[in-house]
Amino acid sequence: MSKTVKLRKGLDIKLVGEAEKVMESLPMPSEVALKPADFHGMVPKMVLKEGEKVKAGEVVFHDKYNESIKYVSPVSGTIKSIVRGEKRRILSVVITADSEIQYASSSSVNVNDLNGEQVKEKMLAAGLWPFVKQRPIDVVANPNVAPKAIFISGFDSSPLAPDYNFLLEGKEADFQTGIDALAKLTSGSVHLGLNGQTMSAPALLNAKGVQMNRFYGKHPIGNVGTQIHHIDPINKGEMVWTINALDVAMIGKYFNTGKFDATRTIALCGSEVSAPKYFTTVLGAQLTGLLDGKIKDGNVRYISGNVLTGDKVEKDGYLGAYHHQVTVIPEGNEYKFFLSTGWLGHGFDKFSNSRLFPTWLLNAVAPNKKYRLDTNTNGEERAFVVTGELDRVFPFDIMPMQLVKAAITKDIDGMENLGIYEVAPEDFALCEYVCTTKINIQDEVRNGLDLINEECM
């Protein structure tokens, strides 16, 4: 039975630079990269060596501790380099891409003719499994543990997020096939979260074999963690799988065509982009070809992902495995004159969730006003004191301040009692934004989850 959830807590950060719904295809990038760090907790074991040829869909490395989980090349080409860091840890595998993609040989298959184990084997062999994540811990799903349910969020509510309705146009058949495949992996329900405040794309509205749940409110209503918490919360010992709606269509396309098609349409957005719009490239693409000639002059930060949870990258960096947008905003490392734009300034150009700046008054008369914000944290890290600011943007029946304190102090019993099994770092992104302590809350939650994984799972 479908449910409707209306949330009062949350915060929409309206930024300048939303991508116009215009799509442009980019030439094949000269390089792509697979970054093991995108798949938290995974230790890669190389299958190919530098200089070897590879086709799109062929295995590059697999998980050292679970060899059935394979990571494949998104393009055909040559392994250019295996970049290593301290203790020879693999940071990235860079592939020089061919001008035209050659795919590993495979054939289409009717999902309805397969059982759950066969679907799982196909996805593992094709390198599609890393797109399925699990809660608790928020890592690539363990294929040996059956989930009680699978959750798909059909929209993204983060700042300048890509419009899934636009990106799913023409992918109705692939999306339905992806749903049919996922439904065979659980004895429970497949939940599809829809934005109740806008009309959803036909691919979402017409999906069969799912429980549709509609959500109303502010960010983070698009986060799958928020949807899980209000539809079917996770208890200790339970497992839930999650997957991005766009990756569902990619899975479906594999079953329909037999090809691992890593084509990815991303939103290039942010106040420092001269003409924000959508571009078609491939997973892991080098960003140089995307960014050249499209960024305004100035000191800027490039972010693979959104401004709350994305990764800082260089201009010649690579698109993250789970990212569907690249955001460019002003860098905040320049000094500001304290009487004009600094801490004694009027603050009419600043966004505030509290009453620190007068712009909070404008929210009533101009709720759609957009801001050009930089990366400056406006202060250094300070004592972590109990306030109510985190509760106002955290739409869980969990005490965020106390849970974060338990994570910081490595209090395992406290974390378990306060709901660590339900959350992921992205659920605390808004808490990190509004918190006056300037502590990297997402990192602390990630460390807490890693400790729970090591000691309790």
Q: In what order do the strands lie in the sheet with 66-72?
A: 44-46, 59-63, 66-72
DSSP 97-134: EPSS--BPP-----GGG--HHHHHHHHHHHT-GGG-EE
Q: Residue 312 has which token pair?
A: 């800082």
Could you tell me which residues come within 8 angstroms of residue 451 by beta carbon, excluding any fewer than 6 positions away?
407, 410, 412, 415
Q: Residue 213 has which token pair?
A: 């749940």
Could you tell me which residues come within 8 angstroms of residue 64 by beta carbon, excluding any fewer than 6 positions away?
43, 44, 45
Return d(Cα 136, Cα 130) in angstroms, integer: 16
pLDDT score for 365? 60
pLDDT score for 341? 65
Among 105, 122, 137, 114, which residue's Cα sits nearest to residue 39? Answer: 137
pLDDT score for 361? 61
pLDDT score for 381? 85
CA distance readout (Å), 248 to 54, 272, 332, 373, 451: 25, 31, 37, 33, 30
pLDDT score for 346? 62
Could you tell me which residues come within 8 angstroms of residue 414 by beta carbon, excluding any fewer than 6 positions away?
402, 403, 405, 406
CA distance readout (Å), 371 to 91, 153, 221: 35, 27, 21
Query: CB of 8 within 8 A of CB of 22?
Result: no
Return d(Cα 316, Cα 289) in angstroms, integer: 9
Among 446, 387, 452, 457, which residue's Cα sits nearest to residue 415? Answer: 452
Q: What are phi and psi of 124, to 5 degrees?
A: -65, -45
Q: Could you tell me which residues are beta bridge partners of residue 193? A: 153, 213
Given the structure tokens 């009717």, which residue do they identify?
A: 110
Given the structure tokens 């799509």, which residue do they identify?
A: 23
Residue 36: alpha-carbon gap to chain centroid: 15
- Low-confidence stretches of the chain (pLDDT beneath 50): none
**Domains located in the chain, CATH noted:** 31-97 (2.40.50), 107-257 (3.40.50), 377-456 (no CATH)
> What is the pTM for the complete model shown?
0.94
pLDDT score for 58? 97
**Amino acid letter, residue 21:** K
